């Protein structure tokens, strides 16, 4: 499997706690899977080739300069195959602008990439 860089938007402490609660419910119901350790819950925006590291670093600086905290909500759960359980963020104007800005040079720019917040994978 080819390695990629992913550009993500980290969720605030309130969402971190809510996602931790959801993860505990999942574990209590014996749904098999894991969560990536030492990476806070986040919304995956888009992906890049490993060689695009400098593009991603510059893009992150641009995003910090142009975007403030974005208020979001989630609309429901989704699955990528049977391997990834995620929550769908509701697209609002600010999230859509961030997504479009981040996506302009990504591997996903010509494809339908599902912006998502992973809860569990196996």
Superfamily of domain covering 4-121: Cyclic phosphodiesterase (3.90.1140.10)
Q: Where are the domains of the chain?
A: 4-121
Residue pair 85/119 in contact by the 8 Å Cβ criterion: yes
CA-to-CA distance for 12 and 60, rounded, in angstroms? Answer: 18
User: From CA 38, how far away is CA 120, in angstroms rounded?
Assistant: 14
**pLDDT given at position 103:** 87
pLDDT of 36 over the 80 cut: no
Question: Residue 74: pLDDT above 90?
Answer: yes
For residues 41 and 13, give the distance between their C-alpha atoms in angstroms, rounded to a whole number.
Answer: 10
Model confidence at 113, pLDDT cuts 50, 70, 90, reads: low
Q: Stretch 87-101: mean pLDDT, rounded?
A: 90
Query: By the 8 A CB rule, do 119 and 30 touch?
Result: no
Q: 80 has which bridge partners?
A: 84
Taking the model in full, what pTM does it have? 0.83
Tell me the pLDDT of the chain averaged across its residues. 88
pLDDT of residue 112: 66
């Amino acid at each position: 499997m080819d390695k990629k860089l992913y550009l993500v938007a980290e969720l605030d402490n309130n969402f971190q706690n809510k996602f931790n609660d959801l993860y505990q419910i999942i574990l209590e119901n014996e749904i098999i899977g894991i969560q990536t350790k030492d990476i806070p819950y986040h919304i995956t925006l888009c992906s890049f080739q490993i060689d695009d590291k400098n593009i991603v670093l510059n893009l992150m600086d641009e995003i910090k300069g142009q975007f403030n905290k974005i208020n979001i909500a989630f609309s429901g759960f989704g699955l990528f195959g049977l391997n990834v359980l995620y929550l769908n963020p509701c697209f609002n104007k600010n999230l859509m602008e961030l997504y479009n800005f981040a996506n302009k040079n990504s591997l996903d720019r010509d494809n339908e990439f599902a912006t998502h917040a992973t809860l569990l994978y196996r």
